[in-house]
Structure 1
Amino acid sequence: MHARDVMTTEVLTVTPDTPVREVARLLYERRISGAPVVDTAGKVVGMISEGDLMRHAGAIGDTVSTRSWWLRMFEPSEDAAADYARTHARVASQVMSNKVISVSPETPLSEIARMLEKNRVKRVPVISDGRLMGIVSRSNLLRGLAASPPDAPAAADDRTIGEAIGAELRDQPFGVFMHAIVQDRVVHLWGFIDSESERRAVTLIAENTPGVERVEDHMTNRPIGVA
């Protein structure tokens, strides 16, 4: 699935000149956590989120004017200027995030999920030919995942299934002494285990292998003294 399959097309937008208080009211009324900032040409120039508004509110509660004069003497001028800008911001353009992370309608959902995680954002605008087409949020991704049809089991013969299970078992510390025999796509698991967690893990390896129809568990607890 792609962005176009799950995106929200009715997107709340604000302009760079929208007052901060109005942005807060709109987000609250629509029960959303952020919105794109769009200029008069329809181009997305920023994103404004509840986090941006909270940082603005926090700056108001800790204004430079309330600090001791001697602390302000040692504060870097750049930090003081940033504090002043946050405290006295009046419109969206003064508190929004200028870095816009966007996707196209054809971007796969897996790639969008990685982008959200990597950049620690909750939503990305969907842009095509410079125009805002929609927005994809975490909830959109979850709905897309829930609606995705399960993968069809791949056609595989017994030998292919056995090789796949064996390769995965060899990669796991608990699977070194396990053995899988496959007959008519039914997997028979043999070997010693040290815990029920190992039994479940080995069984999952077999169950998750494409082409497997059933798993028969012949595993036994490792006898005391057997390494």
Structure 2
Amino acid sequence: MIVQDIMTTDVKTVTPDQPVKDIALMMIMDHISGAPVVDADNKLVGIISEKDILQRMFPKLEEVMSDTHFDFENMETNYKDAMNVKIGDIMTVSVDSIDVDMPCLKAASNMWLRNYRRIPVTKEGKVIGIISIGDVHRAIFKSCMTS
């Protein structure tokens, strides 16, 4: 079984110039926790996750250390500020992807080693799908139950 057999092809993507509020809304409405970031040619240029957005809210260590009474409750205003930032400013640019012809268990092994829950599938650098650990688990379960 290869990645192409089980990948999701209806991938939600965003571009680096979109505001963060676009991906935040997509995450809430579509029940996803992140998305590949692509350029105008659908080439993978990064990935954005809930973690990237929430990290933007948190103060830098120096700020916390310099203020003995840091107002953590006021941090929620940082979330509102983050909504207008461009996705390209907070996305992870060092992003891995896998090829459509990779065996599923090799893809799952790569995700496991890197602690990824999902990874974009590319062909010639363009996003054509996404695969999750759950996709691999479901496919293996189905193949065992039908054998």
TM-score by length of 1: 0.53
Q: For the structure 1 residues 151 and 28, does the alpha-carbon distance in structure 2 shift closer, same or farther, using more than 3 Å as the test? A: closer
- Tell which structure's C-alpha radius of gyration is larger: 1
Distance across 1 between alignment mates of 2:102 and 2:20 = 32
Equivalence for 1:106: 101
Alignment of 1:77-156 (within 5 A): 90-149=85-144
Equivalence for 1:31: 31
Equivalence for 1:58: 58
Aligned partner of residue 101 in structure 1, secondary structure: coil
Cα RMSD over matched residues? 2.7
Alignment of 1:153-164 (within 5 A): none
Aligned partner of residue 58 in structure 2, secondary structure: helix
Alignment of 1:35-54 (within 5 A): 35-54=35-54
Distance across 2 between alignment mates of 1:92 and 1:18 = 6
Aligned partner of residue 14 in structure 2, secondary structure: coil
Equivalence for 1:17: 17
Where structure 1 has 5 or more consecutive residues not aligned to the other structure, the ranges are 70-86, 153-227
Aligned residues: 134
Where structure 2 has 5 or more consecutive residues not aligned to the other structure, the ranges are 69-80
Distance across 2 between alignment mates of 1:145 and 1:107 = 15
- Which 4+ stretches in 1 moved above 6 angstroms? none
Deviation at 1:114, TM superposition (A): 1.2
Whether contact under 8 Å (1:6, 1:143) holds in the other structure is no
Distance across 1 between alignment mates of 2:132 and 2:46 = 16
The C-alpha deviation readout for 1:189-227, integer Å capped at 9, x for no partner, is xxxxxxxxxxxxxxxxxxxxxxxxxxxxxxxxxxxxxxx
Q: For the structure 1 residues 141 and 93, does the alpha-carbon distance in structure 2 shift closer, same or farther, using more than 3 Å as the test? A: same
Distance across 2 between alignment mates of 1:59 and 1:48 = 19
